Amino acid sequence: MQDAAFFWSMMFLVLAGASGLGHFFRTLGVGIAGENLTFRLRVAVLANILRQHIGWFDEESHSSATLASRLATDVPVVKTAAGYRLAVMFTALVTLGTSLSLAFAFGWKLALALVAIVPILALAGGLQLRVEKASQRRDAHLMSHAVQVTTESIENIRAVQELNLEPTFFGLFVSHLLVPFIESKKRSILFALAFAFSQGVMFLVYGCAFRLGAFLVTRGEMEATNVYRVFFTMAFSAVSVGQWTSMLPDYLRARLSAGLVFNLLEAETEIDGYSDGGMRPDVSSRVSLKGVTFAYPSRPQ
């Protein structure tokens, strides 16, 4: 028995070393990939911004503060979804697949009963996901206004101080932050209810698992050792999936930021100074313009 205990203790040490190396290379790989993605996105977005016609910048959604916020804030948020959190998601999927295979191999009846309770856990996670998704766009819109007020007031700080408008801009900034602050306090109640529901269901799953396992053992359909194997295998998978679901709010935020970034990346311009297409006739003449007027789209007068 001492030899067996020594052997399995060494196996746990080997498993710990392999797990450490795996996590190291996983984090290193997704970190490098995320930095490369951030660099390429910033270059591509800035290049597409610079090729837009002048009237495009007069739109409220294309102000200098908003565009700077997209490059400085939203692009790194996209990296978080394509970096560590994506690696955690793949790890959770692999762990879930392996755990289900082992659980069904040692006791398919108990494993099937535990899997049947998974939709209840998904319901709690879906509730939290729905509440978070509904507020992401509104918060992003309001925060972009707050960033714009801050940027413009700092860029024109001399005029603001000369006109004694510091309280005005401060109040405007606070008003843009007040609405998402109040909404966040309301959403925290829903988040707390969803989290409490999911945690309560977990203990319900524990009770049902051991009760059903004891029933199968008394009928001779399972061994007591296999009951623990199935239970702890499913518990490990639940922990892994729980780590992934805890990152769903960050994933939603990254998804929203990705949509905003790719909207800039795919924006078409009516006047493309970098395009080589179109008609280029070889003519020699003089062009004169008379009675020409010009106005920006946002200021037609």
Confidence of residue 131 (pLDDT cuts 50, 70, 90): low
Check pLDDT > 70 for residue 262: yes
Mean of pLDDT values over 162-191 = 81
Buried b / exposed e along 192-211 (16+ C-beta atoms within 10 A):
eebeebbeeebeebeeebee
Mean of pLDDT values over 131-140 = 61
Instruction: Quickly list DSSP for 93-134.
Output: HHHHHHHHHHHHHH-HHHHHHHHHTHHHHHHHHHHHHHHHHH
Backbone angles phi, psi at 82, to 5 degrees: -90, 0
> For position 17, what pLDDT does the model report?
92
pLDDT in tens, 44-74: 888 888 888 877 887 777 877 778 878 887 8
> For position 291, what pLDDT does the model report?
83
Confidence of residue 209 (pLDDT cuts 50, 70, 90): confident
As a whole-number percent, the residues of the chain with pLDDT over 70 amount to 80
Task: Enter the tokens of residue 181.
Answer: 């602050």
> For position 230, what pLDDT does the model report?
86
Can you give the pTM of this predicted structure?
Answer: 0.57
> For position 253, what pLDDT does the model report?
74
- Mean of pLDDT over the chain: 78
Domains of the chain: 2-265 (1.20.1560.10)
Q: Which of 16-30, 31-45, 119-133, 140-154 has the lowest mean pLDDT?
A: 119-133
